[in-house]
Structure 1
Amino acid sequence: MDFTTRPELAGTFGMVSATHWIGAQAGMAMLERGGNAFDAAAAAGFALQAAEPQQNGPGGDMTLIVAEPGRPPRVLSAQGPAPAAATPAAFRALGLGHVPGTGLLAAAIPGSTLGWLTLLADHGTLALADVLGPALAVAEDGLPVTARLAAVLERMAPHFRQHWPSSAAVYAPGGQPPAAGTLLRNPALARTWRRLLEAEAGAAARGEGRADAIGAVVREWTAGFVAEAIDAFCRVPQRDSSGDAHAGLITAADLTAWRPHYEPTVSLDFRGWTVHKCGFFSQGPAFLQQLAILDAVPGFGEGALAPGTEGYLHTVLEATKLALADRDAWYGDGPDVPADELLSPAYAAARAALIGETASLELVPGSPAGRTPRLPDLVVRGGFDAAGVNGLGEPNAVRALQEATAAGGLPAADGRARTDTVHIDVVDRWGNMVSATPSGGWLSSSPVIPELGFPLGTRLQMAWLEEGLPNTLAPGRRPRTTLSPSLAVRGGDAVLAFGSPGGDQQDQWQPHFFLDVALRGAGLQEAIDAPGFHSVHSPSSFYPHEHQPGVALLEGRFGADVVEGLRRRGHRVGVAGNWEIGRLCAVARDPASGILRAGANPRGMAGYAVGR
């Protein structure tokens, strides 16, 4: 590609890439103060909680991968588990067959804020007061509303007014949501953050060190006023996507008992690279399975299977279907996942042998170690016709994508909305690297807690109420999350951190980006700008878990010959707009020269990279 939408940044001091320019700038401000990549990532994360409330919030969750020179990459899991009262029986007693997609019942223990505090205390150098400064300014002084956020607020306002008045007070004051370009403030959130900073200041005044002072903030969150407000709010029934009002299951005791923790990454070698992902409690290993399957396809990446060709797209789409079928049959937060077998060369070769010349319309999980796969009860949407309607009379995935892109969210009558996620990548001059994917706690997930200024998340909707599945809901178990940061190593050094919002598409868009870099030698911005595509063949991780067998979506920049060739192979192809698929962020480091690079997604008019 000779043209990119913006320059790839290059320098030696530090780079930050984020899904909103405020996050990128907040992170860069910490680097300029002398902070490291971990300070910068936390500042960016807090700023995005205020700047992109339709994408994430303090009551959400997060996974991130950290890399320090001389140490292997590690996962910091800030994906909270199910609370003690969250059992399948508890939901069945309410007459529910699925965890609702909105409301208090679906809330896992919130982990995102605790994750940033943990990262800052363990690896940062700056005080929370410094790191939280940019986010606090956004909440108190306001930020001009983007067109996407304005569309979400406009569509959610009727639901807020009718069912969630505490959300209306923040996001539709006086009954009217703020228009694009006007300032949105959140004084209640600002007060929450200032109370947390008082805990840090009090500890510092007592002579406690930086990390211990941040620990005082953690205690205020887990056993102080934050825990008390969450507990009290969860006792009051609130309308959710079931159409009824239900109280929540989280208690103050749940918040007190849980903390984020570190764990090893799962990794795979691919043609001189080692890609690191979060473990099988996430969908991250599906990225690795795709790489393993593709590496077992003879000639992949060359000739008729070179990037951008019809053969390449067909092969990648089929490998994706196989990997995600395994995700739905085998992944979960428990000891029984056949992890070694799923990532073994022999298993990958057997899966690759299933890729034929035509598109599969079936979900085909494998049998690692001879075990029999079992899929949950899934909602099949079917394909679509030329009029853009599937067999159930519903808009097809292409139309839904186009509407969601234009509007930023699609609330249903029950308040559900298609929202998204944020992402942050940072590298500093010392070689520290962070890839972080915060999400959840969106403004459309559940009502704002008035005393705190933010809602809880709905991650439990990703768990199943059917007994005996790897991802069956259970107290203390993390629901299998879609949050999936990525980090790649070459020659023992962390050289590339990248990631994306996108729910189930995160581990499609990210492999596509990585393959462009690894196979073509593409630059970061070039690979980000490349035409995007993905499959919606596999079940959605989100309520009500629908899927459209054989459906693939391609950006309009793909040639008609590619589109028609895929259709001849049996793919049910929908063509989206030219710039609608993918939202990558990326930073890189060359250990030999010390040169740092960064790129960011132009789609959606919000993502930016900064650095020098």
Structure 2
Amino acid sequence: MFTTRPEIAGTFGVVASTHWVASQVGMAVLERGGNAFDAAAAAGFTLQMVEPHLNGPLGDCPIILHSAALGTQQVICGQGPSPSGLTVAHVKGQLGLDMMPGTGFLAAPVPGAFDAWARMLQEHGTWRLRDVLEYAIGYARHGAPMVGRVKATVESVRRLFEQEWTTSAAIWLRDGGPQAGGLYSNPTLAETYERLLREAEAPGRSRETQIEAAREAWHGGFVAEAIDRFVRSPAMDTSGERHAGVLTGQDMAKWRAGVEKPLTYDFKGHTVLKCGPWSQGPTMLQTLSLLDGMDLAAMDPVGAEFVHAVTEAMKLAYADREAHYGDPDFSDVPMEALLSPEYVAQRRALIGREASMEFRPGTPGGRPVRGVDYAAAVARAEEMRAAEGSGEPTVSRLGASGGDTCHVDIIDRWGNFVSATPSAGWLQSSPAIPELGCCLGTRCQMFWLDETLPNGLQPGKRPRTTLSPSMVLKDGAPYMAYGTPGGEQQDQWQPIMLARMLAHGFNIQEAIDLPSFHSEHWVSSFWPRGAKPGKLVLEGRFKPEVAEELRARGHKVEMGGDWSEGRLTGARRLADGQLRAGANPRGMQGYAVGR
């Protein structure tokens, strides 16, 4: 089939990411002798500069890796927890809010991205932190090329920055702000990283102890102290009111990125690895389990039957996410029951020829469904749509400008794999901390204000993130690392891509380039937590008869742009040792490189 680009082939190393600069940085590290972990960390820190509207130094970052030396796969959880002072009593009782805000200080968790990258580098990498950070520092000091979306994002919150978040204005409205195609620097962030290195590099320290000292300076030193001071002053958020944060230096000091085993599901001769139910990752495993009992190979991969089957399977998986997923350190999540053959068969039987308009969580192992108010979520979506339609300037007044995410996949010549999805801490999430040159994330907006629910707010609990890297094994050996930005769409576009590869034989680039789709049927993880029953968005390149058949089946079909669905990247290793990679052409940012 025609593709926009070839699937990159090599034997030395491949890198695929959502921005061409980060891909080139990752490849430069491999060429200089670094391994996949060194390269991924360098690319990850670079993404903070070239995609600042999609991630930041104080954001989150889950990572799935395969260590060739250890012969095992790990999840590094870079999703920080809620602060000790963030309680339902505080938010609901003292502040009088019925929902967590989507921006500002109140929804800030402990930032997790830096420690996740640092732990991976410390335990699996070979380079010093200075060598890894030099790329990001260079771009922060001298300027990084800005894509048009950075400028558009800054313009969407210009009024908020000028009137409320003046520390953000000082960084992002300086000299007119970022210009599409121009260079833009962040010298304050450059100084933050340079100070971090100065404090870490005491004489006589080894590579590993330097990284440990940097982790301490970040979570227990000047970075934590600056955050603690700054969030005490109230800031405007999406509630329409000003609220102070509750994140403290003590919250920062007592947390470090953890290591876990990935969850797995065997699909068409391959084992799919995802993060635990503190992420939405298991929805992909549930979707694949439902599709596993269908003859996908007999379906046209861009036909109505395929779109219908995948969409209806995802509706059931995401309904279970809302009813049962949460931080397993706080909630007893029935993952074994959710993926059991008996439960999967019961759920698969619910998929008929017609589109379901219902929200149907299941009862795995007899587990009751609690606290899912679908009607309220539908009403919130309608209220927001009506406000936007009447000219209500929600974005400029309250800063309700959603952020997105980045992704990077790397395989090196030694057989190490990395799949990482950094996000949050984007420039429009909360006021910039002036001493640091960056801002806090707002992942705690994903909590419900009912501590009895699986994803209900409790101090020290991880919010159920949408961030969801993936890895695939074949015959027990690492085969592919892949993922995408996209919030709720991450675990929609990923199973679509994998099903097309494994059931229809497409390569990475072909599967990425095929027209894709997404649903907005379930309850969103993002403020204001809306739902749009039956909504199905098809990329504009689908044939008109496909859309008509789906409408006839009851789907509320909307047509998007011709190249509007997905930001996938991926890298795989073939049995003969060849490395292959591909990246999304949409938006003209993502690139795969290698040799």
Deviation at 1:411, TM superposition (A): 2.7
Deviation at 1:410, TM superposition (A): 8.6
Structure 1 distance, partners of 2:355, 2:273, is 29
Structure 2 distance, partners of 1:242, 1:197, is 38
Residue 426 (str. 1) matches residue 410 (str. 2): yes
Residue 317 (str. 1) matches residue 301 (str. 2): no
* Letter of the 1:522 counterpart: F
User: For each residue in 1:452-508, what CA deviation from the matched residue of structure 2 results, as whole angstroms up to 9, or x when unmatched?
Assistant: 000000000011102311000111110000000000000111110000000010000
* Letter of the 1:563 counterpart: A
Deviation at 1:390, TM superposition (A): 9.4
Structure 2 distance, partners of 1:505, 1:489, is 23
**Mapping of residues 210-229 of structure 1, within 5 Å:** 210-229=207-226
Kept in 2, the 8 Å contact 1:267–1:276? The answer is yes
**Mapping of residues 196-275 of structure 1, within 5 Å:** 196-202=196-202, 205=203, 207-275=204-272
Residue 307 (str. 1) matches residue 301 (str. 2): yes
- Structure 2 counterpart of 1:168: 169
Structure 2 distance, partners of 1:54, 1:522, is 32
Structure 2 distance, partners of 1:77, 1:314, is 33
**Mapping of residues 11-50 of structure 1, within 5 Å:** 11-50=10-49
Structure 1 distance, partners of 2:54, 2:504, is 32
User: For each residue in 1:563-598, what CA deviation from the matched residue of structure 2 results, as whole angstroms up to 9, or x when unmatched?
Assistant: 0000000000000011001000100011x3110011
Q: 1:410 to 1:49 in 2, by over 3 A?
A: farther
Structure 1 distance, partners of 2:282, 2:534, is 22
Aligned residue for 2:90, secondary structure, equals helix
Kept in 1, the 8 Å contact 2:40–2:418? The answer is yes
**Which consecutive unaligned segments of at least 5 residues does structure 2 have?**
none
- Structure 1 counterpart of 2:156: 155
Kept in 1, the 8 Å contact 2:150–2:178? The answer is no
* Letter of the 1:314 counterpart: H
Deviation at 1:146, TM superposition (A): 1.1
* Letter of the 1:124 counterpart: G
Deviation at 1:395, TM superposition (A): 6.5
**Mapping of residues 440-589 of structure 1, within 5 Å:** 440-589=424-573
**Mapping of residues 64-463 of structure 1, within 5 Å:** 64-69=63-68, 71-92=71-92, 93-173=94-174, 176-202=176-202, 205=203, 207-297=204-294, 300-303=295-298, 305-334=299-328, 335-378=331-374, 379-381=376-378, 393=386, 411-463=395-447
Kept in 2, the 8 Å contact 1:293–1:349? The answer is yes
Aligned residue for 1:274, secondary structure, equals strand
Kept in 1, the 8 Å contact 2:484–2:494? The answer is yes
Deviation at 1:124, TM superposition (A): 0.3
Kept in 2, the 8 Å contact 1:383–1:549? The answer is no
Deviation at 1:238, TM superposition (A): 1.0
Deviation at 1:73, TM superposition (A): 1.5
Deviation at 1:236, TM superposition (A): 1.1
* Letter of the 2:145 counterpart: P
Structure 2 distance, partners of 1:343, 1:178, is 47
Q: 1:149 to 1:520 in 2, by over 3 A?
A: same
* Letter of the 1:24 counterpart: S
Structure 2 distance, partners of 1:470, 1:255, is 24
Structure 2 distance, partners of 1:372, 1:140, is 54
Deviation at 1:132, TM superposition (A): 0.6
Kept in 2, the 8 Å contact 1:500–1:506? The answer is yes
Structure 1 distance, partners of 2:151, 2:561, is 21
Deviation at 1:11, TM superposition (A): 0.4
- Structure 1 counterpart of 2:587: 604
Aligned residue for 2:149, secondary structure, equals helix
* Letter of the 1:66 counterpart: L
Aligned residue for 1:166, secondary structure, equals helix
User: For each residue in 1:18-37, what CA deviation from the matched residue of structure 2 results, as whole angstroms up to 9, or x when unmatched?
Assistant: 11111111111110110100
Deviation at 1:154, TM superposition (A): 1.4
* Letter of the 2:249 counterpart: A
Structure 2 distance, partners of 1:383, 1:554, is 23
Kept in 1, the 8 Å contact 2:156–2:396? The answer is no
Kept in 1, the 8 Å contact 2:158–2:396? The answer is no
* Letter of the 2:237 counterpart: D
Kept in 2, the 8 Å contact 1:383–1:550? The answer is no
Structure 2 distance, partners of 1:419, 1:383, is 19
Deviation at 1:271, TM superposition (A): 1.2
Aligned residue for 2:479, secondary structure, equals strand
- Structure 2 counterpart of 1:400: none
Structure 2 distance, partners of 1:25, 1:196, is 25
Kept in 1, the 8 Å contact 2:63–2:421? The answer is yes
Deviation at 1:393, TM superposition (A): 3.6
Structure 2 distance, partners of 1:391, 1:508, is 24
**Which consecutive unaligned segments of at least 5 residues does structure 1 have?**
397-408
Structure 1 distance, partners of 2:451, 2:462, is 16
Deviation at 1:181, TM superposition (A): 2.2
Structure 1 distance, partners of 2:348, 2:379, is 25
Structure 2 distance, partners of 1:395, 1:410, is 7
Q: 1:548 to 1:542 in 2, by over 3 A?
A: same
* Letter of the 1:362 counterpart: E
User: For each residue in 1:389-438, what CA deviation from the matched residue of structure 2 results, as whole angstroms up to 9, or x when unmatched?
Assistant: 99964669xxxxxxxxxxxx993521110220000100001110000001
Aligned residue for 2:398, secondary structure, equals coil
* Letter of the 1:35 counterpart: G
Structure 1 distance, partners of 2:315, 2:263, is 20
Aligned residue for 2:586, secondary structure, equals coil
Deviation at 1:177, TM superposition (A): 2.4
Kept in 2, the 8 Å contact 1:383–1:551? The answer is no
* Letter of the 1:37 counterpart: A
- Structure 2 counterpart of 1:594: 577
TM-score of the superposition, structure 2-length normalised?
A: 0.96
Aligned residue for 2:355, secondary structure, equals coil
Deviation at 1:348, TM superposition (A): 0.8
* Letter of the 2:507 counterpart: G
Kept in 2, the 8 Å contact 1:145–1:181? The answer is yes
- Structure 2 counterpart of 1:406: none
Q: 1:415 to 1:381 in 2, by over 3 A?
A: same
Structure 1 outlier segments of 4+, above 3 Å: 375-384, 389-396
Structure 2 distance, partners of 1:410, 1:316, is 34
Structure 2 distance, partners of 1:395, 1:377, is 23
Kept in 2, the 8 Å contact 1:383–1:572? The answer is no
Structure 2 distance, partners of 1:332, 1:122, is 28
How many residue pairs get matched?
Answer: 588
Kept in 2, the 8 Å contact 1:382–1:549? The answer is no
Kept in 1, the 8 Å contact 2:219–2:249? The answer is yes
Kept in 2, the 8 Å contact 1:20–1:607? The answer is yes
Deviation at 1:604, TM superposition (A): 1.1
Kept in 2, the 8 Å contact 1:325–1:364? The answer is yes
Q: 1:321 to 1:543 in 2, by over 3 A?
A: same
Percent sequence identity is: 51
